[in-house]
Amino acid sequence: MAYWWAAHSVDQAVQHSVRTFGGYGLSLEYDVQLYFRRAKLLSLIAGDPNAELDRIAARLWDGETVALPRAGEVEIDFEWGAEADAYAAELRSFVEGQMTPDIEAKKHHSTAGHHPGFHKKLAEAGHAYPDLGADGQKVRSRYEVMAAAPMWEDIGWTRTPIAVTEFVAKMAQLWSQPETKEEIVGAIARGEALGALGFSEPQSGSDVFGTKFSAVRDGDEWVLNGQKMFTTNGHQADYILMLTRTDNSGKKHQGLTMFIMPMKLPGIELHPVYTLQDEKTNITYFTDVRISDRYRIGEVGDGARVMASALGFEHGGSGYHAAQTAMMRRALTWARKPSGNGAAPIDNPFLRRVLARAAINDEVADVLCRRQVWADVEGIHDISYGPMAKMFTTETMYRDASAIVEAGAPGSLVRGVDPDMDYVETTMRRAIAMTVYGGTSEVHRSLIAEKSLGMPKSRS
């Protein structure tokens, strides 16, 4: 896998490098052409690197073994740890014990899969928000949370309402005024409230600081007017995290103020929006909605700094990787099923290479996501780790799912023919949406270029 990955990556790198130099890159007087030649030499000297894909498939799925030299001491531990594995087993046992027929019937990857009763039981047992640490519950480590995460994809249960709500709860923990913090975080921790996010607007999606949503102070209250787009889970939410403009006199990142406010107020109207990935989101209209100043988080006009801490929760890939691994597993289950002529799809050499590439991408995404989580736990603040993990995970998940659907056509285009291929096709649509969540891949490329590679800003 490492050899194929290196050969594949170096080819991309030297292509971009030659083009960066333009005509000079083609000149023998400049060294970049030497790197281009050497890259080709090193990647092809052992033959076609794609032959490695056949070896990968044979070792992963045909039981082929090979004698390997001793690796020696490995100083990096890629596991979550025994304590984390124990918690993952504990959670799985709890969830399996709760799966009554009515809960099973609600299973869906979208917010439609939310089951209030099951959610309440999870919250009471400390499993809904295991690293929140509210209401005296044990605070689980980030490693424990990540070790348990694949289980939700394994059983096909939605995490969207919980993920969005935890986002709101953590922002309340960081920024809410004491009395309001107790109200919001307490209700969420007990499983009595859900949250939603009010960032995007019709004219400002990824550019959140372009918000025009108006909040005007009136004594101890604020009057809110405007429109928010894509308020996922808004139709079930009790609180919404809002980015508003309270001053138009400065630059666009100035004059912003944030609130976590109740959703069940006069003047709030939701219109459903149904999406490509079988999700229901919302357009939310606010007309003269009045809220108390106690729902403000952070200082007036300091919304950019508050928002920066919020974006840190979304700019990561670890929450998406479980879906990528589950897609790979379901694709293999489909590929091993014999077709009408007795042969299985996995016997097709082309499909084997498609699956081998997907397996490599899954491994690379896993390492990038584990590095991101490790850096968060260890307090290593590299702002590019999250965007790298998120962009790579979501983009390769889409490309690989799309390639598998293509290889399985035309049967893959009809729902209900095979449940495992249905899962792959659904993941393809979910993945294209994931490349948009928390900032599009283009935004993340800019962040990586600026923060990791030291390149100039690509946007004003």
pLDDT-based confidence at 134, cuts 50/70/90? confident
Q: Decide if 102 is inside a domain.
A: no
- Cα–Cα distance list, 32 to 22, 27, 40 (Å): 11, 9, 13
Q: Decide if 105 is inside a domain.
A: no
What per-residue confidence (pLDDT) applies to 361? Answer: 97
Give 1-15 pLDDT, tens digit per residue: 999 999 999 989 999
Q: Decide if 236 is inside a domain.
A: yes
Same domain, 219 and 321: no
Same domain, 284 and 234: yes
**Residues facing 204 on adjacent strands:** 201
**C-alpha–C-alpha distance, residues 446 and 238, integer Å:** 35
Of 302, 329, 364, the last residue of a domain is: 302
Could you give the number of structural domains in the chain? 3
Give 379-427 pLDDT, tens digit per residue: 888 888 999 999 999 999 999 999 999 999 999 999 999 999 999 999 9
pLDDT-based confidence at 313, cuts 50/70/90? low
pLDDT at 287 over 80: yes
Q: Among 76-80, 145-149, 166-170, where is mean pLDDT lowest?
A: 76-80
**C-alpha–C-alpha distance, residues 192 and 186, integer Å:** 9
pTM, full prediction: 0.90
Of 200, 202, 297, 204, the C-alpha closest to 257 is 297
- CATH number for 253: 2.40.110.10
380, 370 contact by CB (below 8 A): no
pLDDT at 65 over 80: yes
Of 11, 29, 49, the last residue of a domain is: 49
Q: Decide if 442 is inside a domain.
A: yes
Q: Decide if 392 is inside a domain.
A: yes
Same domain, 259 and 361: no
* Residue range 177-196: mean pLDDT, rounded: 95
Structural domain that includes position 44:
2-49
pLDDT at 315 over 60: no
